[in-house]
Amino acid sequence: MKFGDFSGLAQNYSLYRPGYSQNIKGPVEGYLGKSFSGLSVADVGAGTGIFSRMLASWGASVTSVEPNHDMRNVGIEDCKGHRITYKEGMAEHTGLDSNSVEFLSMASSFHWADFDKATTEFVRVLKPGGVFSALWNPRWIERNPKLVEIESKVHELCPNLRRVSSGNSAFTSTLLEKLEDCGKFSDVMYLEATHVVEQSKTHYIGVWESVNDIRVQMGEKIWSEFVSYLKHRISDSEVLLTTYKTRMWLGRVRT
């Protein structure tokens, strides 16, 4: 397994990754100045379509762009019955027509992209005054002491592990400034909303098994030890309550 390669993880990603907070819909529509209903949208780095389906449920017509073969195939299956069309492409080269969409999102994926090349591509694809959004859905583990304890075990097993959720990373810590300063966007804005997800033991473990970077850094032997510990530690819990923060950055294409 390699960093950023989600081949073989698509099924767990599909089954167990949580959705984003529904509470962002109103503020984003307020920012857009229009409803998502009938809006032309591209969801780039769409994975299995978690955010694509949310956008479609709000009434948007969605083109989901995903480079990974496994993730794309699972996404096509998961998105049947929705107004979603999948195509192969990546942030730097979406394959989408110029001036073709009004809203373009990257959900839990913008940190994998080349910022300058990707934002140049997004400005090409978006209609004049169109909106780019990057969002993540990190856990707020401090709301549950058991989750804090589990996180400590990760570092005990692998002391040198770089364990920062992409939604709370150095990349996101400067993203507002980068969007402001790159000269491509105006009206840059940040939103945050929380939501609580009730997870079964299988679901909670499945979320961990959909993660790429930790498993790569641990290696398979230590990873197996961690999963064994995880199963034992949550064996007394029927469900786990996990609080997530949906963190969202928005910028309007300069005209």
Cα 202 from chain centroid? 21
The answer to whether 54 and 30 have CB atoms below 8 angstroms apart is no
Q: Is residue 1 part of a domain?
A: no
List residues bridging with 193 in a β-sheet. 246
Mean local confidence (pLDDT), 89-114: 97
Q: Is residue 121 part of a domain?
A: yes
CA 167 remoteness from chain centre:
8
Residue type, 74: V
Is 3 among the domain residues?
no
Identify each DSSP E strand in the chain by its residue range.
40-44, 61-65, 84-87, 101-107, 126-136, 185-200, 239-253
Structural domain contains residue 5? no
- For residues 64-70, give the mean pLDDT: 96
State how many domains the chain has. Answer: 1
Does residue 7 surpass a pLDDT of 80?
no
106: DSSP letter: E
> Which token pair is 124?
């090409």
Match 């969801």 to its residue by tokens: 43
In tens, the pLDDT along 139-187 reads: 898 999 998 999 899 889 988 877 556 777 889 999 999 999 999 999 9
Q: Is the pLDDT of residue 8 over 90?
A: no
Supply the pLDDT for residue 2. Answer: 47
Phi, psi of 247 (to 5 degrees): -115, 125
171 part of a folded domain: yes
Task: Summarize the confidence of residues 123-152 as an average pLDDT.
Answer: 94
Q: Is residue 12 pLDDT above 80, yes or no?
A: no
Amino acid at 135: L
Q: Which tokens belong to 193?
A: 């909303």
pLDDT of residue 1: 43
Q: Are 251 and 184 in contact (CB under 8 A)?
A: yes
Residue 194 falls within a domain, yes or no?
yes
Task: Note whether residue 2 is domain-resident.
Answer: no
Residue 31, domain CATH:
3.40.50.150
pLDDT, tens digit, for every residue of 107-116?
Answer: 999 999 999 9
186 found inside a domain: yes
Euclidean distance between CA atoms 38 and 60, whole angstroms: 5
For residue 71, give its domain range. 10-253
Give the residue, 216 or 132, on which the prediction is more confident: 132
> pTM for the full model?
0.86
CA dist 37 to 61, 130, 186, 214, Å? 8, 15, 24, 38
